Structure 1
């Protein structure tokens, strides 16, 4: 069995998503090839099984792992790939991380892939009523919650909004913020305005925060995203 099966990888169809940058007031379309994305964020149980580590502040096998840096997340992806006999996607040399084109292993979603998957063919800010689909400041009672406890989107993806933010592959704004990476989705302590498909947050790739986790992806036969 492919080790990715335990993450409930969901096939996300190809499509196009419009990204925007608040600082430059620029918007652009990105074509997204078909790919697979885990139905839920990586859990503490799964993270410990692969790495032997339990970095999260909360304790619970089905809680999403949090308190993990971007470097921790890409390292996990490579470790999971190696366990599954797949080619690791990332070439890691200290703090330099390169994406190996054509590698068939696990990876983080790109920002465009994440938003396309979150929207699931919709055009609104959310894929349902917030209290039904997300754990956020209004209903989480101040703590992270087990994955999959709210209603999924139309493509069967849970916790795309709320619970924990997801690390993405992309740099946030290299011109201003250097190596800071993109976070998407909102978390358990965020107000409703942060839990929208288009909201972006940034963090340094070495930071470990108690409302930040990640989910895994794999490229489909069409390869990676391409900008139009």
Structure 2
């Protein structure tokens, strides 16, 4: 006889049958015991940092496989409040730029975007401390618990989001891989912010290139402006490592008006959506899907030198291959309310 229990336990949960045989949930959070004898049995789940309800289940095998032996998992390793999210209200804003200060061609033309639903977004980039509680490997070049996690391809980010969603009892957003990834907009789980959501949240109502800092007057001395930017952004190579400018721990500088840290500088951030060209047409909840090959990263990084460059403006957009895992790119999470 074969028992095939299928449940909502998370990835990496160990299931013990009758106190001796064990198996582990797979990437789909499923588990299986083969060749189970007819009779009464007990299944007990376990995972470091989690509790389960019930703590075990009785299973009676007759002459058929047994489906749906489920357990409700509560993570004690990743409390929900360890991932601090800021609520961003629905609204309309002007996305992109019109050829003025710190405006690249990829961010033009400026156009009106309406976001019809409020959403939640991380106050910081995802740290390595949070990443390591969910994922088995941390490939970040600069290592430290409060540093942003980097060196991660798109598929690893979506896997992280899905796993964290399951740990917090939310419905996962992603299925599929690479350019064939499906994004379920009805799900309440964690995901990348769309390009529009990121820019709206980073701007926090500001219309200047760097949120909350007026653009300099053309022809004026730029040094006072640069000093103001240094209060909100690691952006000019001001923190040197052995090999040059390096990332910094999150949330050390001044946040924007909506409480988001490091939107400008530190590490660039992956957003959801292909690097399609902008148009002048008004947009409502744009997602820039499906993918072709490149996801947009925004916000710039600390690898710049001497001056403030356009890549750290709130409207900048640079395409990175989905499979790439640069040392200067991280991400922050979002989710639909």
Q: TM-score normalised to the size of structure 2?
A: 0.61
Alignment of 1:1-228 (within 5 A): 3-20=79-96, 22=105, 25-32=108-115, 33-93=117-177, 95-127=179-211, 128=213, 129-141=228-240, 142-173=245-276, 178-191=292-305, 192-193=308-309, 194-220=311-337
* Counterpart-to-counterpart distance in 1, 2:298 and 2:80: 22
* Counterpart-to-counterpart distance in 2, 1:105 and 1:9: 13
Per the alignment, residue 225 of structure 1 pairs with none
User: Cα offset for 1:134?
Assistant: 0.8
* Counterpart-to-counterpart distance in 1, 2:303 and 2:109: 29
Q: The residue matched to 2:231 in structure 1 has which SS? A: helix
| Cα 1:154/1:125, change in 2 over 3 Å | same
| Cα 1:15/1:63, change in 2 over 3 Å | same
Q: The residue matched to 2:190 in structure 1 has which SS? A: coil
Q: The residue matched to 1:203 in structure 2 has which SS? A: strand
Q: The residue matched to 2:150 in structure 1 has which SS? A: coil
Bigger fraction of residues in helix: 1
* Counterpart-to-counterpart distance in 2, 1:3 and 1:165: 26
| Cα 1:66/1:120, change in 2 over 3 Å | same
**1:125-151: CA deviations, max 9, x gaps?**
112421000111242221110000110
* Cα contact 2:233–2:262 (8 A) shared by 1: yes
Q: How many residues are matched?
A: 219
Q: The residue matched to 2:163 in structure 1 has which SS? A: helix
User: Cα offset for 1:202?
Assistant: 1.0
Q: The residue matched to 1:18 in structure 2 has which SS? A: strand
User: Cα offset for 1:24?
Assistant: 9.6
**1:5-39: CA deviations, max 9, x gaps?**
21210111111232348369544321122111010
* Cα contact 2:106–2:317 (8 A) shared by 1: no
* Counterpart-to-counterpart distance in 2, 1:150 and 1:101: 33
Q: Which runs of 5+ in 1 are unaligned?
A: 221-228
User: Cα offset for 1:94?
Assistant: 6.1
* Cα contact 1:184–1:199 (8 A) shared by 2: yes
* Counterpart-to-counterpart distance in 2, 1:7 and 1:166: 17
Q: What is the alpha-carbon root mean square deviation over aligned residues? A: 2.2
